[in-house]
Amino acid sequence: MLSETDARARGLADLPEVQSDLLLQLIALCNADPRPEKIDVGVGVFRDGHGNTPILKVIKEAERILLETQETKSYLGSAGDKRFAELLRPVLLGEHADDDRIAGLQTPGGCGALRLGFELIATVNPNARVLVGTPTWPNHAPIIRAVGLQMIEYPYYDRDACSIRFDAMVAALKEARAGDVVLLHGCCHNPTGADLDDGQWAEVAPIIAERGLLPFVDIAYQGFGRGLDEDARGLRGLLSACDEVIAAQSCDKNFSVYRDRVGSLFVKTGSTDTTARAMAHVGQRAREMWSMPPDHGAAAVRIVLDTPKLRQRWPGELAAMRDRINSVRQRIASADPRLAYIGNQFGMFSMLPLSRDQVLALRERHAIYMADSGRFNVVGLSDAQVDRFTAAVVEALDA
């Protein structure tokens, strides 16, 4: 029989405090700062030259079509919108789109896809270890740990040298055991902006294949770096080299539908039978967690991809976002030789080689809000803010 103390210990009042997310803390601090000149480069979304995150015109149009044509909101099932996943195949998989050993399904954003992919791994091998290059996106570790998998870190990026530690990465892969999972950023590495180049991908893929490792590609920013096909080259190279590959994809950035939670999980195995079995497990895990993904955003993306005039216009709107990212990068890079590396990186994020004290000084003196790690979002800057930002950063680097 339970004692009174045991019964009380299980009350919700006994829950421990949760360490609040540092990026959320940063947003709160920035919001509370009354200085009108404040600069928020901690934010994780695309902003245009005026500091807005607009809805894409193709999405607005697709939503109008959806409103006019949708006849039911009946359940769709745990795989969500199947046509959405089908239409994503050529976008993501390119030359592998017709490989029937690859199957995909809709998920609630890239986060949902990551969680589901790791759930699948834990289902088949709860002792699998996940190799993660550091630094990485802060939500990777909690997702991996929530599933109960062990995480093994290796150094991916040298913050002071502002470059990838490719030798350390290759050494870590060569030491990995068959069955280990390798988590890789498909493009636009968050938080560093430092992507493997084509030669490095070509070196990494055969090592992964030969050692029997399972590549898990997180691709949340396809089209934000070099282009839709260019940004998927690493993933596609792995699909050529390896029998088993998992990819967690997000449309939240490249269709600018962040809050609508649009993503997908793709799984490749060595045979269509195994893929079908894997997808049955994936469906089961999805059913346990969220039952079905939200429909609206994926339906809008599906309409864009399925409507020739919208499908044709989407890459243009995506290119406009990419061009802004890259033009802000070039402006920052040209301000000082120590910032030149930023011009050679991709996606929204880069990392400044600043100490925590320097980051805090930028916050206090210049109302510039970035993560303590020195990670900043290049398009957190409006066009009017870039020069003031770079001047303040150069001053911090000189100090």
Ligand X SMILES: Cc1ncc(COP(=O)(O)O)c(C=O)c1O
109 makes contact with ligand X (CB under 6 A)? yes
Sorted by sequence, the CB contacts under 8 Å of residue 92 that are 6+ apart come out as 219, 222, 232, 235, 247, 249, 264, 266
Among this protein's residues, is 137 annotated catalytic?
A: yes
DSSP reduced 3-state for 228: helix
Q: Which is nearer to ligand X, 305 or 335 (CB)?
A: 305
110 touches ligand X (CB under 6 A): yes
Taking CB under 6 A as the criterion, which residues in 255-284 touch ligand X? Answer: 258, 263
Task: Report, in Å, the least distance between residue 244 CB and ligand X.
Answer: 21
Is residue 40 involved in binding ligand X (CB under 6 A)? Answer: no
Nearer to ligand X, 44 or 294 (CB): 44
Q: Which residue of 252, 260, 295, 317 would you call a contact of ligand X, by CB under 6 A? A: 252
> Of these residues, 81, 180, 195, 218, which one is catalytic?
218
Catalytic option among 62, 113, 194, 220: 220
350 contributes a contact to ligand X by CB under 6 A? no
Select 249 or 269, whichever has its Cβ closest to ligand X: 249
Interaction residues for ligand X, span 69-98 (CB under 6 A): none
The percent helix, strand, coil of the chain (3-state, each to 5) is: 50, 15, 35
Identify the residue among 218, 231, 260, 295 touching ligand X (CB under 6 A).
Answer: 218
Residue with Cβ nearer ligand X (137 or 157): 137
Give the shortest CB-261-to-ligand X separation in angstroms: 7
* Contacts (Cβ under 8 Å, ≥6 apart) of 164: 156, 157, 158, 194, 196, 200
- Which residues within the stretch 169-198 sit at the binding site for ligand X (CB under 6 A)? 185, 190
63 in contact with ligand X (CB under 6 A): no
Which one of residues 46, 84, 118, 137 is an interface residue with ligand X (CB under 6 A)? 137
CA dist., res. 94 & res. 226, Å (int):
15
Binding residues for ligand X, rule CB under 6 A, total 13
Using CB under 6 A, pick the residue from 44, 90, 138, 179 that binds ligand X: 44
Q: Which backbone phi and psi does 46 adopt, to 5 degrees?
A: -70, 140
- Minimum distance from residue 26 beta carbon to ligand X (Å): 14
**Kind and range of the H or E run holding 120:** helix 109-124
Q: What are phi and psi of 105, to 5 degrees?
A: -150, 160
User: How many angstroms separate the CA atoms of 263 and 213, rounded?
Assistant: 24
Kindly report the backbone phi and psi dihedral angles of residue 217, in degrees, each rounded to the nearest multiple of 5, phi listed first.
Answer: -100, 125
Nearer to ligand X, 62 or 335 (CB): 62
Give every CB contact of residue 185 below 8 A, 6+ residues apart in sequence.
Answer: 136, 137, 195, 217, 218, 219
* 218 labelled catalytic: yes
111 near ligand X (CB under 6 A): yes
Q: Which is nearer to ligand X, 166 or 258 (CB)?
A: 258
Hey, is 226 helix, strand or coil? Answer: coil
Question: Within its chain, how far is the Cα of 389 from the centroid?
Answer: 25
Assigned token pair, 56: 């894409």
Element (H, E) at 317: helix 308-333
Output phi, psi for 363, to 5 deg: -65, -45
For the chain, what is the total number of helices (H) and then of strands (E)? 15, 13
| Contact range with ligand X by CB under 6 A, out of 18-26, 108-116, 157-165, 278-286 | 108-116
Contact 373, 191 (CB under 8 A): yes
- Asked about 314 being catalytic, the answer comes back as no
* 104 versus 109: smaller Cβ distance to ligand X: 109
Structure tokens at 376: 């900043």
CA–CA gap between residue 347 and residue 325 (Å, rounded): 7
- Residue 357 annotated as catalytic: no
- Out of 137, 201, 231, 252, which one is annotated catalytic? 137
Site stretch for ligand X (CB under 6 A), options 195-203, 228-236, 250-258, 364-372: 250-258
Name the one residue in this structure whose structure tokens are 């004692």: 3
155 binds ligand X (CB under 6 A): no
Stretch that binds ligand X, among 107-115, 155-163, 334-342, 388-396 (CB under 6 A): 107-115
Is the CB of 110 or the CB of 234 nearer to ligand X?
A: 110
**Residue listed under structure tokens 């939500």:** 139
| Cβ at position 340, least distance to ligand X in Å | 25
> Distance (Å, rounded) from C-alpha 375 to C-alpha 353?
9
Catalytic annotation, residues: 137, 218, 220, 253
Positions touching ligand X (CB under 6 A) are 44, 109-111, 137, 185, 190, 218, 220, 250, 252, 258, 263
